[in-house]
Amino acid sequence: MASGEDRVLSVYVTAADAGEARRIGRALVEEDLAACVNVLPSHTAIYRWEGKLEEGAECAFLAKTTAARFEALRARIRVLHSYALPCIVAFPAETGDADFLDWVRSAVRQSQEALVSVDRNEYPAPANSRAVPVADGKNKESKIVRQ
């Protein structure tokens, strides 16, 4: 198993629907933040939010990346996501097909010239979206919503 920054991760992310999961997943692969993204079928989420028990349909995806690229991937998901607090959880690949793991590493490997800042202001919002203040007052950031 690789260690440190070369370690391969599977990153589990929830999304509002399959369209959002595909849109975010495509951006992650196009920007070399993920080697590949698998969009999973829709599911029901049950959770507590602001003191209330909630239940609703969601979609999820798995993005394959490395520990070195995780922070940039996480920041990009936060910019593109419609949720104020999306689930973004990374699981290390303890073992796997060596050729596949090497492919993931090579697909997301960054050169010194290609280093990307994770500053939210450097990532543009999707063309069909706008930033709006979060009304609950608990988040200090704007939320990106699709128009």
Q: pLDDT confidence of 2, banded at 50, 70, 90?
A: confident
Nearest residue to 77 (alpha-carbon basis) of 137, 132, 14, 130: 14
Is 138 part of a structural domain of the chain?
no
Is 10 part of a structural domain of the chain?
yes
Task: Tally the domains of the chain.
Answer: 1
User: What pLDDT is recorded for position 110?
Assistant: 62
Is 140 part of a structural domain of the chain?
no
* DSSP line for 64-116: EEEHHHHHHHHHHHHHH-SSSS--EEEEE-SS--HHHHHHHHHHHPPPGGG--
Whether residue 138 is predicted with pLDDT greater than 80 in this model: the reply is: no
Is 19 part of a structural domain of the chain?
yes
Find the CATH number of the domain harbouring 31: 3.30.70.120
Is 31 part of a structural domain of the chain?
yes
pLDDT digits (tens, 9 = 90+) for 66-119: 999 999 999 999 999 999 999 999 999 999 999 999 999 999 986 323 444 444
Per the structure block, which two tokens stand in for 2?
A: 């690789």
For the entire predicted model, the pTM comes to: 0.74
pLDDT digits (tens, 9 = 90+) for 118-132: 444 444 444 444 443
